[in-house]
Structure 1
Amino acid sequence: MAVKYKEIADSLERDIQEGKFNQSKKLPTEDELIKAFDVSRNTIRKAIHQLVNRGLVYQVQGSGMFLREESVTDYINLGSLRGLTKDLISKSIETKILELQVLEADEEKAKQLRCDVGTKLYFIKRLRMVDDEPFSIEISYFKKDIVPYLNEDIASSSIYSYLIDDLKLNIAFADKVINCEKIDEASARLLQVNPQDPALIIENTVCLANGTIFELSKSIFHYQKAKILNRINFK
């Protein structure tokens, strides 16, 4: 089930996107949110922390939570676990399925996913197009006992919307490793770059709230198009 503070954060994000707070440029007070959602102060603070991590609000000590300006958009947000469609909201995104199959974890994948050799995994390879141009190649492994069903319709849109909204997975945190490599010939053809051109690589190990790893993924980005955003909040 989705955690209450995440449900509240999602509700407030929708309100922000719909312009509900445009006049005041700030969120209601903690006390007002506690009353509106009938939850504890701790729950509201966790929800607000989610909005801060999503880059939607910032805190002014003693004055409340203010909306951030929308000038910084269309970046890959390292603090987000919600996928490309949530980061590049002003862009047209198309997904082409290159591979989708169920396979068994070998020794390497079993070690990375902390599961038994032979564990059933969904393997998905996708080409993400942004404004009709190749943007990234995504290679993902999902544990089938946690994500029991995936098909091309789901994989062609936002997998993370499916995981969060439909499967109600409580996705808590991820380890992200960023590096650059020279791109191989097959990937170069897909991204329409030259073999041995540089490629930005982000590898993700994603966990549920109980610490269980359920996804291992690698994204290979077009080096001229991908921009990374990491928001830092000082208290």
Structure 2
Amino acid sequence: MAAPLYRRIAQQIKEDISEGIWKEGEAIPTELHLSEQYQASRVTVRQAVKVLVEEGLLERIQGSGTYVKEQKIEHNIFELISFTEEMRKLDKQPVNRILDFQLIDPTDYIKRMLRLSDGEKVFFVRRQRLVDEIPYVLEETYLPVTMFPNLSYSIMTGSKYDYIEKEVGKKIKESFQEVIPVLPTPDIAEALTVDDSTPILKMQSYSIFIDGTVFEYSENYFKSDEYKFTLRAKRLQ
């Protein structure tokens, strides 16, 4: 039995989106145009569009029209993966732009998070994480100098975790994370190219090696229109 016409139209629109004929963020043609294109009534076209809105491929904006929805990056908080690894899995080529690279005396808070002794210094690195010249994440990370004495500006333009595991030879076990919505400070808003009244997602985290040594403390700021955080909860049997 053939699928209803509105379902077939919805499927054709899906294929057009996947092939890039209809691009993310673009307005779709009017109902009249679509009804002529698919030789269907406007009611049928409206049903097809409704299906795709419900599936999250299209979105209606009040007073403006219907658009191909820009898909957010889905970040699984139970998977410890670097930004570089995450983007490559999505066939995107990430770029790390260093905004600040310093050897500093840690604050009491950073000293406590990294379990440092008196007098120990840390590297402070601030990076824009970009894809196609669009900043997705702003990262501020602190790394103990005693663990990474050879850390350099050029190393941090690549994958931090690649450097730690492949060059330093340390095995990363896990990361402890807290995600909260915040309003960006003016400098963070500028780095992420968002308005300072736009909420963003802040992730505070510290990471440990297999032996339990804390090796990193980071604060990452994610654009909420580009990222969503997911988790899978299982009911106990």
Give the TM-score range, shorter chain.
0.5 to 0.7
SS of the equivalent of 1:190 reads helix
SS of the equivalent of 2:154 reads helix
Contact 2:72 2:225 in 1 (8 A): no
TM-fit CA distance, 1:224: 0.6
1:154 paired to 2:155: yes
How many residue pairs get aligned? The number is 164
SS of the equivalent of 1:218 reads strand
SS of the equivalent of 1:189 reads helix
TM-fit CA distance, 1:133: 0.7
Q: How many Å separate the matches in 1 of 2:121 and 2:221?
A: 24
Q: How many Å separate the matches in 2 of 1:233 and 1:145?
A: 41
Matches within 5 A, 1:6-85: 74-85=73-84
TM-fit CA distance, 1:231: 4.7
Matches within 5 A, 1:161-200: 161-200=162-201
CA RMSD across the alignment: 2.1
Q: How many Å separate the matches in 1 of 2:152 and 2:232?
A: 34
Which range is displaced more, 101-110 or 177-186?
Answer: 101-110
Unaligned runs of 5+ in 1: 1-71
TM-fit CA distance, 1:118: 2.5
Contact 2:73 2:227 in 1 (8 A): no
Q: How many Å separate the matches in 2 of 1:229 and 1:156?
A: 27
Residue identity over aligned pairs, in percent, reads 24
Contact 1:74 1:87 in 2 (8 A): no
The structure that has the greater radius of gyration is: 2
TM-fit CA distance, 1:74: 4.5
1:110 paired to 2:111: yes
SS of the equivalent of 1:219 reads strand
Please tell me the residue identity of whatever aligns with 1:201: K
Specify the alignment match of 1:50 in structure 2.
Answer: none
Contact 2:202 2:221 in 1 (8 A): yes
1:224 paired to 2:225: yes
Q: How many Å separate the matches in 2 of 1:137 and 1:168?
A: 26
- The alpha-carbon distance between structure 1 residues 157 and 213, as it changes in their structure 2 partners (threshold 3 A), is same
Q: TM-score, normalised by structure 1?
A: 0.64
Q: How many Å separate the matches in 2 of 1:156 and 1:76?
A: 22
Moved runs in structure 1, 4+ residues, more than 4 A?
231-235
